[in-house]
Every structure is written in C-alpha cells, then in structure tokens.
Structure 1
C-alpha cells in the first residue's frame, strides 16, 4: 500500500478537551480507521524556542516531548488532518511518503497491492 508515515510532536502535558493531546491523537486515529498508531516519550530534545528539555530536569517536568506516529493511506491521512483543522489544534508534524503492508497477511488484513 502507498501512503505516509506521519509523526506529530507534542509536549506530554498538552491537552485537548481535557485529554492529553498525544492520547487524543491516538484515540482519533483509531476512530478514523487508521490501522495503528504509537506514542513515544523523548528522553531529550528542543523545539522552536531552543529550550533543551530532558527527563532528568525536575523543574521541566511535564515538558518532555511526545512523538505520535501513524502509517496511513492518503485517505486516512486526509481525514486526520481535516479533524485536526476542525478542532483548531496547532501542531507540528512530519510527513514522509511510505510503502507498507503485511507479509503473510491473514483474512483481516487489507489486500496487498505489491509483494516484497
């Protein structure tokens, strides 16, 4: 299948409608039919303000980065972006073209468009 590898960057304390933003993104991706998503806590990093955030600094608790990743078809990606726009969420993301599928699929997997 053809689509995109999407990665959203949020801080661990960011929330939307009372739900942590990273969790909200996973819930919505699941609801929209994206086959899978994951969230990862960064051990360190910096953003546009060039402030270094690391897990070991107590005074920066709650400011660590969380990466939320999806591999999605173009249609799934568009539904997710449309929802984020409607919800007026300001979020940084990366999008990388991706080819993906399941080797030795079972009956629940979508049909393969190519084989490795």
Structure 2
C-alpha cells in the first residue's frame, strides 16, 4: 500500500484539551479511523527555538516525543484537516512510504 509516514515532534509537557499532546494525537488518530500510531520517547533533542529538551532523572516533563503513523492519502488528508480545524501548531515530517503486513493473517494485538 502507498501512503505516508507522518512523524509529529513534541514534548511530554505540551498539552491540548487537558491531555499530553502526544497522547491526544494517538487517540485522535484512533478516533479518525487511522491504521495505527505509536508514541516514541526520546532522550534529548532541540527544535526551531534552539532550546535543548531532554529527559532528566528527576523531571521527565520536557522529554522529547515522536508520534509516528503510517497512513493513506485519504487518512492523511482527514488528519491534517482535523488539526487545521482545531488550529493545532505542531512540527511534523510527512514522507512518502510503502507499507503493509507480511506473513499469514494472524490476530493482532
């Protein structure tokens, strides 16, 4: 199947609708019927303002996070229309991708 890998970049302490933004994105993807999404914690990074964000032993609030999704053209359009309607500002990378499932059909978790 052809589509896109979309990766959103945020931090643990960014919130939308009283939830961490990464969690909100995950559940929004589910509610929009997307195929799946994964939150990936990172140890350190910096963004457009050149500020270092990192996971510290005593404070994880500033920990960088990625939310990664593999979507079709239609799913990407639905997702970005939803984000635009809510005026959410978040950095992303949208890369053309081929995706699918290998092997025999099995129950997924």
Give the TM-score of the pair, scaled to structure 2: 0.89
Identify the residue that residue 88 of structure 1 maps to in structure 2.
Answer: 87
Say if 1:98 and 1:105 are closer, same or farther in 2 by CA, change over 3 A: farther
Q: Show the 5 A alignment for 1:1-116.
A: 1-56=1-56, 58=58, 61-106=60-105
Identify the residue that residue 114 of structure 1 maps to in structure 2.
Answer: none
Long gaps (5+) in structure 2: none
Long gaps (5+) in structure 1: 109-116
Quick one: distance in 1 between partners of 2:68 and 2:87? Answer: 20
8 Å Cα contact 2:39-2:66 kept in structure 1: yes
Matched length = 108
Runs of 4+ in 1 over 6 A off after TM superposition: none
Give the TM-score of the pair, scaled to structure 1: 0.84
Say if 1:57 and 1:47 are closer, same or farther in 2 by CA, change over 3 A: farther
Identify the residue that residue 113 of structure 1 maps to in structure 2.
Answer: none
Q: CA deviation at 1:19?
A: 1.1
1:3-55 Cα distance to aligned partner (Å, 9 max, x none): 00000011111111111110110001011111111001110011111122222
1:64-116 Cα distance to aligned partner (Å, 9 max, x none): 211000000010111110110011100100011000111135388xxxxxxxx
